[in-house]
Structure 1
C-alpha cells in the first residue's frame, strides 16, 4: 500500500510541475468566462428570471467542459512525447499512472470552478442560500466527472487535433443541450425530453440546486454524475491497460 502511494505521489508531483509550467489553457478558461459573464449579465437579467444565476452557472459549466482538453492533454502528451510506454514499463499500474496524472488536473478544475463561482458571487451579485458544504459537494462531483470523461477521451483520440475538435464540439453541444445558455424550460418539448442525456444538464441542475440550498436536488444529480464518471474512468483504465494507449501517434 505504501509503495503504491509513493508511486502515485511521484507521478502526481511530475504532472503538477508540467501543469505549472503551462498555465495558458487554465488562464484561458478562467478569463474568458469572466468576460462573457460580465458582458451578458444585463441581457440575462432582463430576459430570464434568475438571469444572474443562469449566466454565472451556465458559463461555469460551459468553460469547465471546454477544459476537458486540459484533462485529455495530460495523458495524450505522454503519447506524443513517446514516454507513455516507458511509464507503463515501470512498476506503476495503469490505475496508479492515471491517478497520478489526474490529481493535478483535478486540482486545476476545482480551482477554476471555485474562482468562477466566487466571481459570480462577488462581482455579478449571485446570492447563494445553500450551505458551503453543499456547494463544495457540487463542485467536487462535477470536477470528478469531467476528469473521468477527459481521461476516457484521451484514451480514444490519436492526436491533439482530434482531442481539440472532439472536446470543443462536444462541449458546446452538450452544454447547450444541458441548458447552459438558456434554461431547458424554454426548449421545445422534444428537446426538453432529450436534455437529460447530457452530463451538462445534471451538472447545471446540481450547481443551481446547491446555490438554492436544495439538498436532494444537489445530491441526486451528483450521484448520477459520479456513476457516469465511474464508468468513464473504468473504460479509460481498461483501454489503456490493454495497450491501446501506446505512444504511436497517427
Structure 2
C-alpha cells in the first residue's frame, strides 16, 4: 500500500509519539527565529494607537488590525512546510515511519499555538491600551480566535503545497492581507464601504473573521457561531487539499 496516499492511511495508525517529536522539533525552530512573531505583534500595536485617534472605535480598530496582521502571518504558517520543499527534506521526512498526517500535524500544532498567542496578545493589548471593552463571555471570544486561527492554518498549509518559492509566498500573503482586510471591513467599518464592496465582502474570509470577532466582543453568541462555522469549514476544505497535495508529492523541477 503506497505510503503517500492520504485516503489509504488509517487514523488508528497515527502515532502521538511521532507527532510530539515532530512538533517539538518545529517548536525549537520557531524559538530560534521569532522575528515574524515579534514584528506581527509590534506593528499592529503601534497602528492600533494611530487608528484609535482616527476612527475612535476601539472594537473596529483592534479586530480590524488583528485580522490584517493575522493574514500576513500566513506567510509564517506556509513557510514551515514550504521550507521542507525548498530544502528538499520532505522526501527524507516521508522516508521515516511518520505518515503525511503525522508530519502535517507535527508542523501545524506549533504554528497554531503561535497564531493563538499572537491574537490573544493583541486582544489583551486592545483592552489595556486601546480601550476595547468586551461585553460577552470569554469563551465566545476564545471560540472566535480558535476558528480564525484554524482557517488561517488550513489556508496557509494549502498555500505551501502550491507556491514554488518564498518570494511567491510573500507576494501572495501581502496581496491577500490587503485584499482580505479591505474587502472584509477590517480597515474601515462595513457600513462605510461602497455598495459594490459590500456586495462582494462575503467572498472574503476577512469579512467573516471581522464579523465574528466583533460579535464576540459585543457578546452576541449567535452572530459569533455562524461566521465561526464558515471559517472552520474553510479550514477543513483547505486542510483536506493540503493533505492531498502533500500526499501526492511533487518532483524537484516544480520548484525551479
TM-score, normalisation: structure 2? 0.93
Verify the 8 A CA contact 2:137 2:219 in the aligned structure 1.
Answer: yes
Give the whole-Å Cα distance in 1 for the aligned partners of 2:154 and 2:212. Answer: 18
Change in 2 beyond 3 A, CA 1:98/1:245: farther
**Structure 1 contact 202–225 (Cα < 8 Å) conserved:** yes
Over aligned residue pairs, what C-alpha RMSD do you find? 1.4
Partners in 2 of 1:244 and 1:56 — Cα distance?
Answer: 41
Gapped regions of structure 2 (runs ≥ 5): 1-11
Matched-pair contact (CA < 8 Å) for 2:70–2:115:
yes
Cross-structure match for 2:179: 173
Pick from 75, 83, 94 the counterpart of residue 77 of structure 1.
Answer: 83
- The partner residue of 1:224 within 219, 230, 237 is 230
Match of 1:127 in 2: 133
Match of 1:103 in 2: 109
**What secondary structure is seen at the aligned counterpart in 2 of 1:91?**
coil
Q: Secondary structure at the match of 2:188?
A: coil
Q: 145, 148, 157: which is aligned to 2:154?
A: 148
Q: Which residue of 2 aligns with 1:195?
A: 201
1:13 counterpart (13, 21, 24) = 24
Contact residue 106 and residue 147 of structure 1 kept, 8 A: yes
Given the superposition, is the C-alpha separation of residues 77 and 247 from structure 1 closer, same or farther in structure 2, using an over 3 Å criterion?
farther
Partner of 2:3: none
Deviations 1:60-114 (A, max 9, x none): 0000110000001100111122211100111211111111000001000000000
> How many residues are aligned here?
245
Structure 1: runs of 5+ lacking an equivalent: 46-50
The residue aligned with 1:61 is: 67
TM-score, normalised relative to structure 1: 0.95
